[in-house]
Structure 1
Amino acid sequence: MDDDDLARPRSRRARREPTPVQRALGLLVRREHSRKELTRKLSARGVDPDAARAAVDKLADEGWQNDVRFAESLVRQRALSGYGPVHIRAELGTHGLDSDLIATAVAGWDGDWAENARELVCRRYGEAGPDGLEQRRKAAAMLARRGFPADCIRSATRYDPEDWEGGGC
């Protein structure tokens, strides 16, 4: 045994390069991905584009990858983070999902968009809501940036806390 043998760490077995399916599964274990996003990430990690598509197809056939499940998950996640349906539809579109799937996922969310908008306004301006025209404009602009439609913005910025079922925020 010479000095070179002592300097090199011994490994019991050589590590094999993960297959495209293993790489894709590793990504899916962390969170849901759309087909387009998963294929793009695999290609960025050096996987041949055809092999990446084949791996994603295989995982979709086996139920590991599902665009419907991804869309529902993203809608729920973004809605609970304070984003509105306009923003969420746009984001789902960037993931390569078709418009029917996007519409179904957004419509399938069981929350109330107007209530979400009101809660955002309450967090920002307190239980009394925006005070005066300037604050209402700022609240409306904030809601528009977060992707809420005009009717939700109107109801959230021109509300009377007494009209709410819960009596306020």
Structure 2
Amino acid sequence: MSLKGRALAYLARREHSRLELRRKLAPHADSQEELDALLDLLEQENLLSNQRFAESVVNRRASRLGTSRIVSELKQHALDPQAVSDVAERLRGTEFERAQAVWQKKFGQPADSPQERARQMRFLAGRGFSQGVIRKVVRGADFDD
């Protein structure tokens, strides 16, 4: 399979960042120049887009993860820092609602002991939600019922 065919096959499955696609194609390329030329061509033809990749990550992960986890994942793909900060700003606006939905799905009822409350808070922290949001969700749950 040609290098371009392999790249198109990867991109047909899902969006990839330039860095990720480079890593996957590197073992199959004859030279770095050939790989760079192909990646440039794919970007010119709008088949490879870091912006679309970022949107794809947000769409896949936002319902389950907090802003810091999503931003961390985007940074690992060496995306433009301005694009990452724009995504983070947009996600912060919905973080409370997303955290509340994750908490509701996992626990559904307020903690009845400090140990259970700590467990719920650790769960949300592991998902990447901010401490302020976690406190509001877990403590706010006490007043919903």
Shared fold, TM over 0.5 = yes
Residue of structure 2 equivalent to 1:13 = none
Residue of structure 2 equivalent to 1:123 = 105
How far apart are 1:111 and its partner, in Å?
Answer: 6.9
Residue of structure 1 equivalent to 2:47 = 64
- Tell whether the 8 Å contact from 2:67 to 2:91 is kept in structure 1 after alignment: no
How far apart are 1:138 and its partner, in Å?
Answer: 0.6
Deviations 1:90-111 (A, max 9, x none): 1111111122111112334597
Q: Tell me, in whole angstroms, the C-alpha distance in 2 between the residues paired with 1:27 and 1:140.
A: 38
Residue of structure 1 equivalent to 2:59 = 76
Q: Which has the larger radius of gyration?
A: 1
Q: Tell me, in whole angstroms, the C-alpha distance in 2 between the residues paired with 1:50 and 1:97.
A: 21
Aligned partner of residue 88 in structure 1, secondary structure: helix
Deviations 1:4-48 (A, max 9, x none): xxxxxxxxxxxxx42x2222111111100001101111003x213
Q: Given residue 106 of structure 1, which amino acid in structure 2 is its aligned partner?
A: A
Aligned residues: 144
- Tell whether the 8 Å contact from 1:121 to 1:130 is kept in structure 2 after alignment: no
Aligned partner of residue 62 in structure 2, secondary structure: helix
Gaps of 5+ in 2: none
- Tell whether the 8 Å contact from 2:67 to 2:92 is kept in structure 1 after alignment: no
Q: Which ranges of 4 or more aligned residues in structure 1 deviate by more than 6 Å?
A: none
1:23-38 map, 5 Å: 23-38=6-21
- Tell whether the 8 Å contact from 1:33 to 1:65 is kept in structure 2 after alignment: yes
Q: Tell me, in whole angstroms, the C-alpha distance in 1 between the residues paired with 2:143 and 2:15.
A: 41
Q: Given residue 111 of structure 2, which amino acid in structure 1 is its aligned partner?
A: P
Q: Tell me, in whole angstroms, the C-alpha distance in 2 between the residues paired with 1:70 and 1:153.
A: 28
- Tell whether the 8 Å contact from 2:16 to 2:48 is kept in structure 1 after alignment: yes
1:91 aligns with 2:73: yes
Distance 1:147 1:55, change over 3 A: same
Q: Given residue 142 of structure 1, which amino acid in structure 2 is its aligned partner?
A: F
Pick the structure with more helix per residue: 2
RCO higher in structure (CA 8 A, sep ≥6): 2
Distance 1:110 1:146, change over 3 A: closer
Q: TM-score, normalised by structure 2?
A: 0.89
Deviations 1:63-100 (A, max 9, x none): 111111110110121112x1111011111111111221
Identity of aligned residues (%): 34
RMSD: 2.0
